[in-house]
Structure 1
């Protein structure tokens, strides 16, 4: 919490206060740094880009991850174990290693300098974690429930939407939150894909803002703390669901 508190409190100080006593408290408290950042169009453009990217990534991860996990957990077919192992191996494949071929692929698809070019790779790199968490949830659903639903006339899709989705909701919420926070804090991929400052997400917006106002340390700290705030609030509100979802995955 030390760096977080330093950044937040530093936004309430002046540059002279920070220079005179870097670790001191605001005396007096200054609100102008935060109000000026909130009044700037740069901050809100970056906020909008991060929101669109994070929501798009979360929706794609949850939808594709749930469907793939359902097949891996409930269907028996040749190569199922190998396919599950392939997704598990994806946990050991960081985006940093693949950034150059990934950039070439995105450029070949004509998606550079667009939010879609960030969303699609983020979905792909978040799928391994999603599948590892969701497969135990779906395997734990008793086969008798599926048999009873089939006798009552439910189709495979009907069973999926009416039974599987509600029963696996803790895992779905957990994976959705992890995907949202991972996308919100993503820096490497947007750095390579986005060139237009109007499309910068908040991590890139912080870097760009700090470059423009390098001598105004207090305002940079205010911009940084406001950029962190949505992810911190989001994580704090859903912390119990994350822990509960991961616990359920381990038990499954």
Structure 2
């Protein structure tokens, strides 16, 4: 047998398998049911098609959209996007959304991690009731409580103020954060905490030196979910914010659509630029979200 033949033979067999037969990993994987793939592709198309239509529509003129709504731009028009990018209104609303998103995310992560640490690592009365209270918070979305929430915000003088958006978002973001982080913190072995105590590390030192680094996958997950949820929030800013100088991008899209209702192409360009940051952010950190949620389930 030649050397080439021997090499090709050795590459197709599993040495650890009895008789030199192929191992399970070397066997060709079977395709699943074609119907499953068809349904999956159908759902993907339903999700992606509207986004592509909005993005591509921004590169067209109103006459092109009226004449051939489903056709590609011919020629491609970049002025719609350039005019939006030159607008100070767009960048002001972008800055407002960024401030609200970052502040809400920091508040949700910091407070949620502290609460989760207490629930996961301390034994006290009503511990189960506290955890159940946060779990019950998942069943009450912000839309249900929007009227009493507006009254509370009005009474404390935060109407038409970005803090009137940030504080409620932190409160309504805590249940999801606690539910995800508690399993991470419970999974930290007690031996690590005992070793830190022997070395003279306080509970607070154990929290910052060990808990925070070990729970980083969960922290990143809840941070991403909080930021995306804040960026896309529309109902709360609609009730709280009155002046356009304080508008976030979701409200800006609505106001822009009303102002330029006859210029469909420009509205599509503004809409696509408004949703682009959240799409990019989610695409970049998608694996971290899945990994963090998987870790929570295993914990």
Shared fold, TM over 0.5: yes
- SS of match in other structure, 1:92: coil
**In the alignment, which of 8, 15, 20 is matched to residue 62 of structure 2?**
15
Of 167, 180, 185, the residue aligned with 2:232 is 185
Q: Secondary structure at the match of 1:23?
A: coil
Choose from 151, 162, 167 the match for 1:115. 162
Counterpart CA distance in 1 for 2:190 and 2:210 is 12
Deviation at 1:94, TM superposition (A): 1.0
Pair member with larger Rg: 2
Is the counterpart of residue 200 in structure 1 residue 247 in structure 2? yes
Q: Which runs of 5+ in 1 are unaligned?
A: none
The one of 238, 243, 246 equivalent to 2:285 is 238
User: Which residue of the other structure, out of 114, 119, 127, is the alignment partner of 1:67?
Assistant: 114
Secondary structure in structure 2 of the residue aligned to 1:211: helix
CA distance in 2, matches of 1:97, 1:232: 27
How many residues are treated as equivalent by the alignment?
Answer: 252
Find the counterpart in structure 1 of residue 216 from structure 2: 169
Q: Is residue 33 from structure 1 mapped to residue 80 from structure 2 by the alignment?
A: yes
What secondary structure does 1:148 align onto? Answer: helix
Post-superposition offset of 1:29: 0.2
CA distance in 2, matches of 1:228, 1:117: 23
Query: Which runs of structure 1 show a deviation greater than 6 angstroms over 4 or more consecutive aligned residues?
Result: none
2:202 is the alignment partner of 1:155: yes
SS in 1 for 2:138: helix
User: What is the TM-score of this pair, normalised by structure 1?
Assistant: 1.00
| Residues 54-102 of structure 1: per-residue CA shift (max 9 Å, x gap) | 0000000000000000000000001000110000000000111100000
Name the residue aligned to 1:138. Answer: 185
Distance in 1, matches of 2:153 and 2:197, equals 43
Please give the alpha-carbon distance, in whole angstroms, between the structure 1 residues aligned to 2:184 and 2:272: 36
Q: Distance in 1 between matches of 2:289 and 2:274?
A: 22
TM-score computed with the length of structure 2 as normaliser: 0.84
Does residue 222 in structure 1 map to residue 269 in structure 2? yes
- Hey, what's the Cα distance between the residues in 1 that align with 2:237 and 2:200? 47
CA RMSD, 1 decimal: 0.4
Output the CA distance in 2 between the equivalents of 1:227 and 1:24. Answer: 23
Q: Which has the higher contact order (CA 8 A, sep 6+)?
A: 1
SS at match of 1:186: coil
Q: How far, CA to CA, are the matches of 1:202 and 1:69 in structure 2?
A: 32
- Per-residue Cα deviation, 1:152-200 (whole angstroms, up to 9, x for no partner): 0101110000000000000000000000000000000000000010110
